[in-house]
Amino acid sequence: MTSLVSSTTGALAGTTALPGDKSISHRSLLLGALAVGETVVHGLLEGEDVLNTVEAIRKLGAQAERDEAGVWHIHGVGIGGLREPDQVIDYGNSGTGARLLLGVLAGHPITAFITGDASLCSRPMNRVAGPLSDFGARFVTREGGRLPLAVTGATDPMPITYRLPVASAQVKSAVLLAGLNAPGFTTVIEPEPTRDHTELMLRHFGAEIDISDGDDGAAHIRLTGQPELSGQRVVVPGDPSSAAFPAVAAAISAGSDITLMRIGMNPRRTGLFETLLEMGANIERLNERTEAGEPVADLRIRGGRLNGVEVPPERAPRMIDEYPVLAMAASVAAGDTVMRGVKELRVKESDRLAAVAQGLSACGVSVEEGEDYLIVHGNAGPAPGGGTVATDLDHRIAMSFLVLGAASEKSVTVDDAGPIDTSFPGFVDLMNGLGASIGAGNR
């Protein structure tokens, strides 16, 4: 394990670009593998999670190569053309990648074995295995629906209509990807809106997707099966979930003034920025435009005083990954910040609700944790700090508390920073380049 220590240095300043969006990177590779012809991807996130998807599609028969300019070229095999892999597919720490791939595999008559690291092997897969079984796929899992697992895709996949019991872009996406090789219409009924990167990218590759409002108030997302997807050019915007860390670090450090370039501004991903604005943060969108169907902007963030707020529970699907770093902003705000409807955090890479509560307590911040809520009692200024935080193999917990250290009276230590590279390679260098002070701790 490699520990890191984050210490306050005052204001942050500078302009920087962020790694590519992880959600879009995964999807560009998977759809590129299912398309006919060449897909060219600019700005692909080259973290461990996404590189595991590169290895997965190679094992399934697609070609994926990076040129000297850092551009990726994927030569797909067409829907239905995947080959049975000779080796186990290891997804490391990536729950998103594993669940999306299960959707792809469910519609192909091949058998594959999927595993991951200790964290991923502790996370449930039943929420995707259930609806994917309705297509005709078969799963053999460990107790509790956990990895490692074996999946045999349907020989003759049948389209389904599936109503999401909980808001989950991963489950929605898995069902739509499985429906690509089924005849007729596959429909996902979505009572609460979640990330729509899959729908946007399916359209970009040539699939027919119809979205309508049902009489029940839910969105009905209908995919026409067995399309011929064509290779496309994809420009991956900067990941708003990654942008959350330098954005919060600047917002909670007085005098800071940073600009983050080319950040994806999909409305279903901007819940954190809306919440920070409600807390009084100074955030400007500059040079707004659209790239490959996704809204993009440069973000200027200046430091200042924040106030506690109550975050609407219905906002959770649009910022579920950002609650840990929001809790860091809440710890230096004036008043209480109340986050409800966040039980999904308990089944991420770690139990993030528990990890955040324990870490904040170790850093002298008063916090209340419930099964489905977190209340942070703000310090109206720098947090005491001084704690050592257990990251539980969770990259977002590690990065969040390194952000807190930038605005704490005493340094904050995270016990294991290794998982950060799964989603944000170069995080420490980027933060230090803006003026943070993050360095190696004791091993």
- Under CATH, what is the fold of the domain 4-20+238-440? UDP-n-acetylglucosamine1-carboxyvinyl-transferase; Chain (3.65.10)
Cα dist from 296 to 21, 249, 260, whole Å: 11, 21, 11
> How confident is the model at residue 1, as a pLDDT?
66
- Under CATH, what is the fold of the domain 22-222+231-235? UDP-n-acetylglucosamine1-carboxyvinyl-transferase; Chain (3.65.10)
Outline where 138-191 has alpha helix (H): 169-179
> How confident is the model at residue 442, as a pLDDT?
52
> How confident is the model at residue 124, as a pLDDT?
85
Q: Which residues make Cβ contacts (< 8 Å) with residue 60, sequence separation at least 6?
A: 33, 77, 82, 83, 85, 112
Q: What are the residue ranges in the chain where pLDDT is below 50? A: 443
Task: Tell me the per-residue pLDDT of 248-262, one tens digit each, with 9 for 90 and over.
Answer: 999 999 999 999 999
Task: Tell me the per-residue pLDDT of 388-436, one tens digit each, with 9 for 90 and over.
Answer: 999 988 999 999 999 999 999 999 999 999 999 888 989 999 999 999 9
29: Cα separation from own chain's centroid: 15
> How confident is the model at residue 443, as a pLDDT?
40
Task: Count helices and strands (H / E) in the chain.
Answer: 12, 26
Q: Are both 4-20+238-440 and 22-222+231-235 of the same fold?
A: yes
Q: Which residue ranges make up each domain of the chain?
A: 4-20+238-440, 22-222+231-235
- For the question of residue 416 being annotated catalytic, the response is no
pTM for the whole thing?
Answer: 0.86
Outline where 205-289 has alpha helix (H): 240-251, 271-278
Which among 128, 402, 95 has a CA at the least distance from the CA of 245? 402
Of residues 321, 392, 394, 421, which has the active-site annotation? 321
Q: Which residues make Cβ contacts (< 8 Å) with residue 51, sequence separation at least 6?
A: none
> How confident is the model at residue 294, as a pLDDT?
86
